[in-house]
């Protein structure tokens, strides 16, 4: 089997499992409308003046590079250039840093008025910004200034790799010795959910020519890293982990919790796009088997990565359901694959203060499973 990058064909698992095309499209359209233009207690896209907008983390009442870059990716996948440009201008105006240790990076959190809550960056924001910008360039063409999308993407990736060279202040976002993404630039560990080898494969085509070999190696390194970080029986990954894959134990970061839910989603999308790593299929099977057998009826809990179910409610239970379903893009054709997709289909968007993270992963799962999370070349 070859991935969609090579074939240009994107699986629509909903259709394969018997859902009607018009119902699939309506579900996707409704999710976009709710997140971007729904009522005040549903949406989290907010426009600022005539030419800017931000995604609000409704649980923390801020705008984060995670959400801003997610929003841009959602927009380019849906051909929403106007909204894309508004999110990007807010990000570039209020989050991007021009000087100091973090120059060329984006402050990971700002208030809705644009004032910075923190100076430091979070690398998952940078990698999503770069990928969304490359897709925008390929789908819509480059414009002027900050809307020269491919130039902006290349500049972000250059900083991510070369920051701190030649005695300049700051640290790179990828560890040079092993090509693994860091949790934050000035640390020596990683977050398994940050590893997006399917993005790095494309960076290896479109980044600055001198860095393309780095990104090819980073894709290989991240795929191999996930073999170590994901539990050999359950497939579950911790939130944070050392470079050898062993979990970071402090502050309960060794559990399958909020950040970690993105790992099965990333495995599913990487396999759908490139199908480079057959291990991903087995890992997806392990994850779905755990949730359909051991955790059946307890899908709203916190878990140790060995499968121990803790007496603690998950902060983002809808996200668990969404990403389990997205793992079906890699999983073998099993009853559990269908069970996870059906459960997701019958789960509505989340409401309430914590809806932001759940519904971001929900929309990405909808895009992926309907064949609409695409590589724009």
The phi, psi pair for 310, rounded to 5°, reads -90, 155
| pLDDT category of residue 134 using cuts at 50, 70 and 90 | very high
| pLDDT category of residue 178 using cuts at 50, 70 and 90 | very high
| pLDDT category of residue 1 using cuts at 50, 70 and 90 | confident
Tens of pLDDT along 292-351? Answer: 999 999 999 999 999 999 999 999 999 999 999 999 999 998 899 999 999 999 999 999
Tens of pLDDT along 295-307? Answer: 999 999 999 999 9
What CATH number matches the domain at 44-229, 3.90.1640.10, 3.40.630.10, 1.10.3720.10, 1.50.10.10? 1.50.10.10
pLDDT for residue 167 is more than 90: no
Average pLDDT, the chain: 98
Tens of pLDDT along 219-274? Answer: 999 999 999 999 999 999 999 999 999 999 999 999 999 999 999 999 999 999 99
Q: If you average pLDDT over residues 140-161, what whole number do you get? A: 98
C-alpha to C-alpha distance for 180 and 214, rounded to whole angstroms: 11
pLDDT for residue 109 is more than 90: yes
Can you tell me which residue has the tokens 């519904």? 359
pLDDT for 166 equals: 81
Closest CA to 355 of 33, 29, 32, 35: 35
Torsion from C-alpha of 19, 23, 24, 26, nearest 10 degrees: -170
Residue boundaries of the structural domains of the chain: 1-42+233-377, 44-229
pLDDT for 168 equals: 83
Q: If you average pLDDT over residues 156-167, what whole number do you get? A: 94
pLDDT for 201 equals: 98
Can you tell me which residue has the tokens 């789908």? 139
pLDDT for residue 357 is more than 90: yes
pLDDT for 334 equals: 87
**Which residues are known to be catalytic?**
66, 259
What angle, 0 to 180 degrees and rounded to 10, lies between the N-to-C axes of helices 262-273 and 197-206?
50
| Long-range pairs for 273-279: beta carbons < 8 A, 24 or more residues apart | 273/3, 273/4, 273/5, 273/198, 273/201, 273/375, 274/3, 274/5, 274/6, 274/197, 274/198, 274/201, 275/1, 275/2, 275/3, 276/3, 276/197, 276/223, 277/223, 279/223, 279/227
pLDDT for 41 equals: 94
Domains 1-42+233-377 and 44-229 in one fold? yes
pLDDT for 254 equals: 98
Query: How many CB atoms neighbour CB 138 within 10 A?
Result: 17
Q: If you average pLDDT over residues 25-43, what whole number do you get? A: 98
What angle, 0 to 180 degrees and rounded to 10, lies between the N-to-C axes of helices 355-369 and 335-345?
130
Q: If you average pLDDT over residues 129-142, what whole number do you get? A: 99
The domain defined by 1-42+233-377 carries CATH number 3.90.550.10: no
pLDDT for 364 equals: 99
pLDDT for 51 equals: 98
């Amino acid at each position: 089997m070859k991935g969609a990058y090579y074939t240009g064909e994107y699986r629509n698992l909903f259709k394969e499992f018997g859902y009607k095309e018009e119902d699939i499209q309506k579900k996707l359209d409704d999710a976009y409308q709710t997140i971007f233009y729904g009522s005040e207690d549903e949406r989290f896209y907010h426009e600022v003046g005539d030419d800017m907008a931000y995604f609000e983390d409704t649980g923390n009442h801020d705008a984060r590079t995670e959400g801003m870059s997610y929003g841009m990716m959602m927009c380019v996948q849906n051909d929403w250039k106007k909204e894309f440009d508004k999110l990007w201008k807010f990000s570039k105006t209020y989050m991007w840093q021009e000087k100091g240790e973090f120059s060329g990076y984006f402050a990971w959190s700002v208030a809705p008025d644009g004032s910075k809550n923190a100076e430091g960056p979070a690398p998952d924001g940078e990698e999503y910004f770069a990928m969304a910008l490359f897709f925008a360039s390929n789908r819509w063409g480059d414009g002027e200034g900050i809307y020269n999308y491919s130039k902006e993407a290349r500049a972000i990736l250059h900083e991510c790799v070369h920051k701190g060279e030649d005695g300049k202040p700051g640290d790179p976002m990828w560890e040079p010795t092993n090509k693994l993404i860091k949790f934050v630039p000035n640390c020596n560990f990683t977050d398994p959910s940050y590893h997006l080898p399917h993005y790095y494969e494309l960076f290896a085509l479109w980044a600055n020519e001198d860095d393309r070999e780095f990104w090819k190696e980073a894709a290989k390194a991240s795929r191999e890293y996930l073999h170590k970080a994901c539990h050999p029986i359950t497939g579950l990954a911790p939130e944070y982990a050392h470079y050898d894959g062993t979990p970071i134990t402090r502050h309960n970061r060794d559990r399958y919790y909020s950040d970690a839910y993105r790992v099965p989603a990333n495995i599913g999308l990487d396999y759908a796009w490139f199908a480079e790593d057959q291990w991903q299929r087995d890992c997806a099977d392990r994850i779905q088997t755990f949730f359909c057998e051991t955790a059946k009826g307890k899908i709203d809990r916190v878990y140790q990565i060995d499968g121990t179910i803790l007496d603690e409610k998950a902060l983002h239970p809808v996200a668990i359901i969404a990403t389990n379903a997205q793992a079906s893009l890699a999983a073998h054709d099993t009853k559990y694959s269908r069970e996870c997709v059906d459960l997701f289909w019958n789960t509505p968007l989340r409401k309430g203060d914590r809806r932001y993270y759940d519904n971001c992963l929900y929309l990405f799962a909808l895009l992926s499973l309907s064949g609409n999370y695409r590589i724009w070349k």
